[in-house]
Structure 1
Amino acid sequence: MESATTKKTAKKDFRKLILEGYKNHVLEHGTAPKSVFKFAKDLKMKEEEFYAYFTSFDSIKSAVWIQIYEDTISQIESQEVFKEYSAREKFLSFLFTWIEELKKNRSFLLSIYGEGSKGMLSLPKEISDFKDKFKDFANEIILEGKETEEIATRPIISDRYDEAMWLQVWFVFKYWLDDRSPRFEKTDAAIEKSVNLAFDLMGKSALDSFLDFAKFIYQSK
């Protein structure tokens, strides 16, 4: 009788087979498979077996994005020093590590997104789960930043900080797709400059200090 552990391992390997098979097909042919039936047949499985793991090719692409995200989080959280980082440093660490994980899939990502990267204004639907997970991570950073006063709390605007950080992530991805510099040096510079600008804007500015002072003077009358 097959044990539960064996079944779990088999299931995990089968899912991996589909993921790797899809990526290999895209890399070899430059496009997604034409049909689930043909793709499953090439992997020597039945079509209904494919649907036990994924509902569509878009769901496979979504799983690739989630895997890259989870590998990134695993990498940064395995470093003891990460816990001591400021909010700005944590976001920088995420982006630099995320780019390293993206590099492992660059040919695949270029095959899917490379041609239309400049005109990719709307978010592809397979990115939505990754976006949700990232925004949860971003909100943790934002909360820590507010507690240490590295990030200023502002009416209405504060509620959009996570979306602003997501836009940076998407900007970095599109920039990296088009980056042809050695070792992607321009992407590294773009990350550092954009994050520094974002945290300067989210931090307490001279304008905030002036408004606080004006409020103090008004209330002191």
Structure 2
Amino acid sequence: MEKTTAKKPAKVDKRAKIMEAFKGYILEHGKSPASVFKFTKELKMKEADFYAFFSSFTSVKKAIWQRILQVTLEALESQEVYHTYSSREKLLAFFYTWIEELKHHRSYLLVLYGEHQLPSRSLPQELKGFRSDFKTYIQGVLAAGEETDEIAKRPYLSDKYDEAIWLQVMFVFRFWVKDQSDGFEKTDEAIEKSVNLAFDLMGKSALDTFVDFAKFLYQSR
């Protein structure tokens, strides 16, 4: 008789389980759980297991934001054509792919940010990791654009481009949260117009051409 061996149960990703359970709680109750103790009790999980991954519910929200960005960037990197894009095209691709990923979490995000829009001045703690990760990504995109002269190098201003694009990210998110158009076509339009405007401003303008010409005339005297 052939001996059979019992299959080992699949290892549970506790971190992912906590994140999904937290999203589920937000959707069902419209607010964060009252305490980690009660939350983990409902999950039939030890409280210590929660603290092995997260320090608070804010850090869970932070991880969800960062995971959305990670999935977005992985989707972009997996496309061979993405690596042939100009910097402008890469940012457009980022926004369209990011919005597609956000749609999977729209109900959760609407509970948190639908009625109470993200503040324009102070950044919520849960977005700081996302902001840091995004700026690392966009700095590479901008640097490539400068190398090909798609983006003009300007003293003092060039170092601020990544922050300007981050503000654009927040603009697009706020627009998308409020967008009621079919298929979020208005958001797609807002993305296209805002990205084109950003790259037109970062590109070599008529003013730059005039300054270059003035320098040439001065140096040629």
Coarse TM-score class (shorter-chain normalised): over 0.9
Is the CA contact (8 Å cut-off) linking 2:118 and 2:174 kept in structure 1?
A: yes
Residues in 1 aligned to 2:172 and 2:207: alpha-carbon distance in whole angstroms: 29
- In structure 2, the partner of 1:186 is 186
In structure 2, how many angstroms separate the alpha carbons of the residues matched to 1:128 and 1:161? Answer: 18
User: Any conservation in 2 of the 1:179–1:187 contact (CA below 8 Å)?
Assistant: yes
Structure 1 residues not aligned, in runs of 5+? 1-5
Report whether the alignment pairs 1:208 with 2:212: no
Alignment match, 1:135: 135
Contact 1:117 1:178 (C-alpha < 8 Å) held by counterparts: no
Work out the percentage of aligned pairs sharing the same amino acid: 58
The Cα offsets for residues 181-216 of structure 1, whole Å up to 9 and x where unpaired, read as 111010000000000000000000000000000011
Question: How many equivalent residue pairs?
Answer: 214
Distance 1:58 1:199 in 2: 34
RMSD: 1.5
**1:90 alignment partner in structure 2:** 90
SS in 2 for 1:122: coil
> Aligned equivalents of 2:45 and 2:108: distance in 1?
23
**TM-superposed deviation, 1:48:** 1.5
Q: CA deviation at 1:90?
A: 0.1
Q: What's the counterpart of residue 54 of structure 1? A: 54
By how many angstroms is 1:122 displaced? 2.1
Q: Separation in 1 of the partners of 2:13 and 2:161? A: 39
- Once the two structures are TM-superposed, the CA of residue 118 in structure 1 deviates from its matched residue by 6.6
Task: Give CA deviations for 1:39-68 in whole Å, capped at 9, x if unaligned.
Answer: 011111121221011110011001101110
**Higher alpha-carbon Rg:** 2
Tell me the alpha carbon deviations over residues 111-166 of structure 1, each in whole angstroms, 9 at most, x when there is no partner.
11111117554211110011011101111011110010000000000000000010
Contact 1:27 1:107 survives alignment (8 Å): yes
| Cα distance in 2 for residues equivalent to 1:184 and 1:99 | 9
- Identify the structure with the greater helix proportion: 1
Number of the residue aligned with 1:74: 74
CA distance in 2 between counterparts of 1:179 and 1:119 reads 18
What's the TM-score, normalizing by structure 1? 0.94
* TM-score (normalised: structure 2): 0.94
Give the unaligned 5+ runs of structure 2: 1-7
